[in-house]
Chain A
């Protein structure tokens, strides 16, 4: 008896529809939550088809296993992982393939699992702990017979073999998962000591992340301990379908281990400094199967680290693509916006650059996660924009309305476009006029 997976019913429907439509190979990700006992699969998302020179829909789907682009699958996983709140992660992969190649399917899936894991672990400020589950689920579905084979691979062990798993559908599994939130302040002064600005920033973020990891966490005012349970008290009275929400506080202390060993601090030459400052909104969800407070705290802390790292990385990627260097002066990092996953209690997130609109975000949700979010459903108010970025958003809106037809047809790497938009946004000249528009819009919506 292998690892147990509780899978949201809508995932079954999604896979059925997908395999019915697919004449050839399709891949995708499973998203959900790990726990010591079993994993919960909440969502399945198909790997978007990579754009090749203007070919029509459906024609470019890979016809053989070899033609599936592993790097593309891994890149999709990386993009998707940025959109997941704390406690929610990529649990595995599915592969829909014709019966001719079914013999090769397991090996291919194993290759994918490791490629995805490699891609994801590069983008983390934290390391897996002892209790982290390292088994990843794979589902191989025969496109003809619809027969599904469920196996797990242990990403800790490159020589691992496929193990059977217990895959069971259930409805509404995540509808009442408790939500833990907090707003975390950052004020990092980073001296740039090397040639490489990115390196200096990332090093400092790693130091900061260690502090967060080691921090004391309070949930609803109570310190998290090793074995306290998150859900206690009059549990029987409350309806199971109600989502509870918790406020968390994070208390850090600087490391003194280094300090006790050194007698002096060395003065370094630096070419300048980078200051990362502001507040980020963080969220984590946790399953309802007797969750411990320490697991909730861990999920939230990882979200704190991920959301900061993702944003900085997005900015740096943007610059890389536009072949620009990190400019002097202040620039806003993208703000976090949330959107609910239909039929679940969970939200996913995305990041909106000052010059982007909610339409851009909706587009990315569609592209990356394959679902439609109306702008009305989006929660864009969790992080207050600065005055400057209000202008940026509005500016992006205007551009977006112009760009909508083009984007829907040809946007696969949204970041590239975002970079250009961003560059445009920086040189906004009609600030005063736009401010007027914003005010009037705000007035109207009120």
Chain B
């Protein structure tokens, strides 16, 4: 999907219950029973009973019933963008989306849900009950289907629906493969779909992973995927946390993501933007019911960095708490055990040590003896964001901050710093955070000209 206004993602979700009975110790029979049970599901999604409901709208579609819809105005050849006008947007959501309209040029996501009609017009066979007595094993696996297809606004609704039905079929086959591959004697893993957007690609790729099998155990699967899609093995693309985040889908943890994307870039002649790659979450004072006002800024900056590594798929470790950070410093011998639970500051060197201890991430340290020198570090910083793309923690003589990018002109040497300030104590209100400069572009005067600074530049490990 090209990320432009007139493009749509149709996303269909719903649960299909896979239920299967098979002989205890006959692998061949088990496999054929599983495949038969999938055949039942396939015939179900090919049947006229299949219904798609467009979420928050009165639209119901019967894709296999010679394209039947509950709205007369929606026919097979209706452009699919017309669906949008029937979708009710909650008042609050509409307001904020209007405000961000300028920035949010991502595709429009139309959510659909899979239903099955159980009523029928005809009068078929009466109710009967059939009993089979045979010692067997049985299993019921809820298959959480999640299909996406991209569409241009002019594409016919009929073809979109047909595309979704085809995607359902394909996903069932993928799930069957996953089930067969990862099933155990006594348990069947839940096959879970994940969508990935490949670099330079305009479409989403859906991969099925077995639930309960960790990313580390799936390394060989990812290696295969990297080969298949000609991707360098220098960074993770197919870990679960790399999964595509659909526009409009809320993050459950409540932290703001990438607030800097809502800022207007500074206008400097010849300047280019060099900013953080991927997604981080904004960690700052007073979050997680921890009152760290006055001492926790470096911890928060470190948390932001950790959140970046987590969300880029480098680690499955959750963002460490203040205590965990302190414990890690004790573990590496940097601090005395009494440090845990204290309210002592940490600096860039400690951040470097914790990243190494908890995430196995190495960092470079850039030292400047006075703040005024930071202005001349444009090339180094630009280079960092181009090659590593990680947020930089900056500390030293004074307060700690996070550098998310620079706008730098190679010719004039002019520079602006994109700063994320961990000292913010308010709620997760994007508007006030960007308006009041808690996340904002700062000039050279932002730095204390006479204080020294240590910059911690985390380096990305070459893993997939």
Contacts and interface: CB of A to CB of B under 8 A. Distances in A.
Contacts of B114: 253
A184 B131 contact: no
A315 B128 CA distance: 10
A193 B140 CA distance: 12
A262 to B, nearest CB: 6
B5 to A, nearest CB: 30
B189 interface: yes
Interface stretch (B115-123, B319-327, B445-453): B115-123
B119 A182 contact: yes
B119 A386 contact: no
B135 interface: yes
Interface stretch (B11-19, B253-261, B276-284, B421-429): B11-19
Contacts of B125: 277-279, 384, 386
A218 B120 CA distance: 12
B119 A266 contact: no
A444 interface: no
Interface string A248-277: 111111111011101111111111111111
Given A193-B138, A331-B129, A333-B128, A216 B189 contact: no
A275 B188 contact: no
A102 interface: no
B126 A249 contact: no
B128 A265 contact: no
Interface in B1-57: 14-17, 19, 21, 24, 49, 51, 53
A268 B137 contact: yes
A311 B127 contact: yes
A326 B131 contact: yes
Contacts of A276: 127-130
Contact of A279 (B16, B58, B126, B190): B126
Contacts of A218: 60, 70
Chain B, interface residues (CB within 8 Å), range = 35 or more
Contacts of A248: 119
A103 interface: no
Interface string A333-363: 1010000000000000000000000000000
A388 to B, nearest CB: 9
Given A223-B70, A263-B212, A273-B132, A254 B142 contact: yes
B338 interface: no
A389 interface: yes
B121 A183 contact: yes
The A contact surface, by secondary structure, is strand
B187 interface: yes
Contacts of A267: 137-139, 185-188
B211 interface: yes
A191 interface: yes
A266 B187 contact: yes
A432 interface: no
B99 interface: no
Contacts of B16: 254
A430 interface: no
Contact of A259 (B15, B126, B185, B186): B15
A327 interface: yes
Contact of A183 (B21, B123, B130, B138): B123
Nearest to A311: B127
A384 B123 contact: yes
A254 B129 contact: no
Interface string B185-222: 11111100000000000000000000110000000000
A308 interface: yes
A251 B187 contact: no
A384 B119 CA distance: 15
A385 B134 CA distance: 29
A186 B138 contact: no
B128 A266 contact: no
A55 interface: no
A212 B117 CA distance: 11
A383 B122 CA distance: 10
A158 interface: no
A185 interface: yes
A221 B70 contact: yes
A251 B60 contact: yes
Contacts of A197: 131
Interface string A211-229: 0100110100111000000
B130 A279 contact: no
A60 B142 CA distance: 58
B81 interface: no
Contacts of A270: 21, 135-138
Contacts of B24: 269
Contacts of A272: 131-136
Given A267-B139, A268-B137, A272-B136, A279 B188 contact: no
B271 interface: no
A249 to B, nearest CB: 5
Nearest to A259: B142
B113 interface: yes
Interface in A172-225: 182-186, 189, 191, 193, 197, 212, 215-216, 218, 221-223
Contacts of A52: none
Given A191-B21, A259-B15, A264-B212, A308 B127 contact: yes
A265 B135 contact: no
B175 to A, nearest CB: 13
A384 B126 CA distance: 6
Contact of A249 (B117, B131, B135, B137): B117
Given A249-B119, A251-B118, A253-B116, A258 B128 contact: no
Interface string B84-127: 00000000000000000000000000000111111111111111
A312 interface: yes
Interface of A: 182-186, 189, 191, 193, 197, 212, 215-216, 218, 221-223, 248-256, 258-260, 262-281, 308, 311-312, 315, 326-333, 335, 382-386, 389
23 contacts: A182-B119, A249-B117, A251-B60, A251-B115, A253-B15, A254-B15, A263-B190, A265-B187, A266-B187, A268-B137, A268-B139, A269-B135, A271-B134, A274-B130, A275-B131, A277-B129, A279-B127, A312-B129, A331-B130, A333-B127, A333-B128, A335-B126, A384-B123
Given A183-B123, A186-B118, A276-B130, 15 more contacts: A185-B124, A191-B21, A215-B118, A223-B58, A251-B51, A252-B118, A255-B142, A263-B189, A265-B140, A265-B188, A270-B138, A272-B133, A277-B129, A329-B131, A335-B127
Interface of B: 14-17, 19, 21, 24, 49, 51, 53, 58, 60, 70, 113-142, 144, 185-190, 211-212
